[in-house]
Amino acid sequence: MPGTNAPPETMRRFFLRGATRTYQFRRQQLIALRNAIKKYERHIESALYADLKKNPEEVYATETGLVVAELNVALKNLRRWMRPRRVPTNLVNFPSSSKIIPEPLGVVLIISPWNFPFQLALIPMIGAIAGGNCVLLKPSELSPATSDLLERMVQDIFPSDYVQVMQGDGAEIIPSLMKSFRFDHVFFTGGTEVGKKIYSMAARDLIPVTLELGGKSPAIVEADANLEVAARRIALGKFVNAGQTCVAPDYVLADMRIMNSFLERLRVTILQFFEGDAKNSYSYGKIINESRFDHLVRLLGDGKIILGGGYDRAALFIEPTVVTDLTPSSLLMQEEIFGPILPVIGFSSRDEALDLIQRNDRPLSFYVFTSNGATEKYWIDSVSFGGGCVNNACWQFANHHLPFGGVGNSGLGAYHGKFTFDTFVHRKAVMKTATWFDPPLKYPPFRGKLRWFKKLIR
């Protein structure tokens, strides 16, 4: 029965008893989670409004709907994912058969962020449960309403020695946890600097990690792009959740020939989206806290504001803002913005644009808007990035058939759909050899057998 939190050692004992290994058990837990989301739907909406001023439609489109979709995919495919996979065996091992068995890792730690505090906690947890693991979830203390809700939900549906939520200051709790207990995997979503600290702590005990980080994700708008569509899709990707999205276009590089036309379409689009009054708009969120608000306001002093720029600290509100006249050394071009400020920079040549992109580490996401296949190929081949879109922005995240993850400083590992299941299992290799054939060629003495080895091992 559900109960109060248990220490990780208790979770280890629960795991070792083997209950989590069966298909029936895992399926039952996934169904229980799906039922709980339906039961708590209004509470989830209230929590996300309190933390980030998300409306119910945005909650479903960017939080609960994505979680339910992942649950449905896992439930539909779980039996197939769990099944051992037969693979070929080479000639030197004749007569043998080989298979790969997906084996649960054990007790895993999931550290989730504040910007999408529901789905970025539960989507990894779905894969961990499907993989047959016990889960300790540490949600962000910066989204307290959603963290409280997650804890109530988990206590309602899972035994505490199987799945539990641990709240508190991550800077204090996580080092203490990782020092006192060896987790079998750590899954972290957040900023690069904290990710490096998690990686360092995990390395002490050779704990495998998944790091979902961020970076300065560019959007390229070529001269042949459909500018109206580009403006809509970039504005949606940038200003949903008030820009507090790891896959948001961090800045736009627009061909100088269409720069003014694009900016005008972007201006009209933003005013339409938020009905000319973002502060009172049903469709526009707020900044998570005063610390982030103050930092973003300092960035507003950079460049030339051509739209927006207004703010209200009491309401944690910053207008959707478009900024131009920036240089590579500008503050807005030095760090991931993670807020509703969109720099737009013109380029005269692709080499110039590529140089701007390569001044920063490899981004989590990359977007290119063009109607030319050769142009599309040039950009996809020239830029190293975690994932991205052609003529779209951010929606690659919602496709569970694609692995979601970064490269270099933007992340390590990937998840979504089966990729999440694969993250939380060990692929155990097993070869079975028959005894009816056992040629002496394989055994000492080896003198004179080299030519046979060269024939068989190749």
Residue by residue, DSSP assigns 389-444 as EES--SGGGG-TTS-B---GGGEE--BSTHHHHHHTEEEEEEEEE-SS---GGGSS
| Same domain (yes/no): 186, 121 | yes
Query: What does DSSP assign to residue 83?
Result: S
Phi and psi at residue 151, to the nearest 5°: -65, -45
Q: Quickly list DSSP for 203-254.
A: HTTT--EEEE-----EEEE-TTS-HHHHHHHHHHHHHGGGG--TTS--EEEE
Assigned domain for 184 exists: yes
Q: Per-residue pLDDT for 2 more than 60? A: no
| Same domain (yes/no): 29, 58 | yes
What percent of the chain stands above pLDDT 90? Answer: 97
Sign of the four-CA dihedral 84, 88, 94, 100: negative
Assigned domain for 457 exists: no
For residue 7, what pLDDT is reported?
85
Q: Among 306, 289, 185, which Cα is nearest to 254's? A: 306
Q: What is the length of the chain? A: 458
CA distances to 323, 361, 370 from 309, in Å = 9, 28, 29
What percent of the chain stands above pLDDT 70? Answer: 99
Catalytic residue among 63, 212, 222, 319: 212
For residue 84, what pLDDT is reported?
97
| Same domain (yes/no): 244, 206 | no
Distance CA 350, CA 220 (A): 10
For residue 3, what pLDDT is reported?
43
Q: Per-residue pLDDT for 4 more than 60? A: no
Distance CA 447, CA 441 (A): 10
The owner of tokens 């079975």 is: 432
| Same domain (yes/no): 81, 115 | yes
The H or E element spanning position 341 is: strand 341-347
The owner of tokens 């065996």 is: 89
Q: Among 175, 104, 105, 115, which Cα is nearest to 139's? A: 115
- Rounded to the nearest integer, the mean pLDDT of the chain is 96
Assigned domain for 447 exists: no
For residue 76, what pLDDT is reported?
98
List, in order, residues 6 or more apart from 160 with CB less than 8 Å away.
2, 3, 4, 5, 6, 10
Cis link prior to 2 (omega < 30° from 0)?
no
Active-site residue 246, yes or no?
A: yes
Distance CA 296, CA 289 (A): 11
Distance CA 211, CA 421 (A): 16
Distance CA 56, CA 48 (A): 9
| Same domain (yes/no): 186, 82 | yes
Assigned domain for 312 exists: yes
- Summarize pLDDT for 289-330 with one digit per residue, the tens: 999 999 999 999 889 999 999 999 999 999 999 999 999 889
Q: Per-residue pLDDT for 412 more than 50? A: yes
Assigned domain for 233 exists: yes
The one-letter amino acid code at 39 reads K
C-beta of residue 311 within 8 angstroms of C-beta of residue 317:
yes
C-beta of residue 117 within 8 angstroms of C-beta of residue 147:
yes
Distance CA 367, CA 379 (A): 9
Q: Which two tokens stand for residue 140?
A: 């962000």
| Same domain (yes/no): 80, 110 | yes
Q: Please state the pTM of the whole predicted model.
A: 0.95
| Same domain (yes/no): 281, 191 | no
Residues 32-53, mean pLDDT to the nearest whole number: 98
Query: What does DSSP assign to residue 7?
Result: -
Per-residue burial over 169-191, b = 16 or more CB atoms within 10 Å of its CB, e = otherwise:
ebeeebeebbeebebbbbbbbbe
For residue 5, what pLDDT is reported?
72
Q: How many domains does the chain have?
A: 2
Active-site residue 9, yes or no?
A: no
CATH code (residue 174)? 3.40.605.10
The owner of tokens 């961990």 is: 128
Where do runs of H (alpha helix) occur along 111-226?
119-130, 144-157, 170-180, 192-203
Q: Which domain holds residue 72?
A: 8-213+411-430
- Summarize pLDDT for 97-132 with one digit per residue, the tens: 999 999 999 999 999 999 999 999 999 999 999 999
| Same domain (yes/no): 228, 191 | no
Q: Nearest-5° angle of CA 280, CA 119, CA 308?
A: 30
Assigned domain for 443 exists: no
Catalytic residue among 45, 63, 246, 336: 246
The one-letter amino acid code at 361 reads D
| Same domain (yes/no): 238, 163 | no
Assigned domain for 450 exists: no
| Same domain (yes/no): 154, 261 | no
| Same domain (yes/no): 224, 295 | yes
Residues 159-170, mean pLDDT to the nearest whole number: 96
Pairing state between β 163-165 and 134-138 = parallel
Higher pLDDT, 4 or 137: 137
For residue 458, what pLDDT is reported?
84
Residues facing residue 208 across a β-bridge = none
- Summarize pLDDT for 389-403 with one digit per residue, the tens: 999 999 999 999 999
Assigned domain for 235 exists: yes
| Same domain (yes/no): 149, 34 | yes
C-beta of residue 178 within 8 angstroms of C-beta of residue 186:
yes
The one-letter amino acid code at 458 reads R
CATH code (residue 392)? 3.40.309.10
Sign of the four-CA dihedral 386, 392, 397, 402: negative
- Summarize pLDDT for 339-380 with one digit per residue, the tens: 999 999 999 999 999 999 999 999 999 999 999 999 999 999
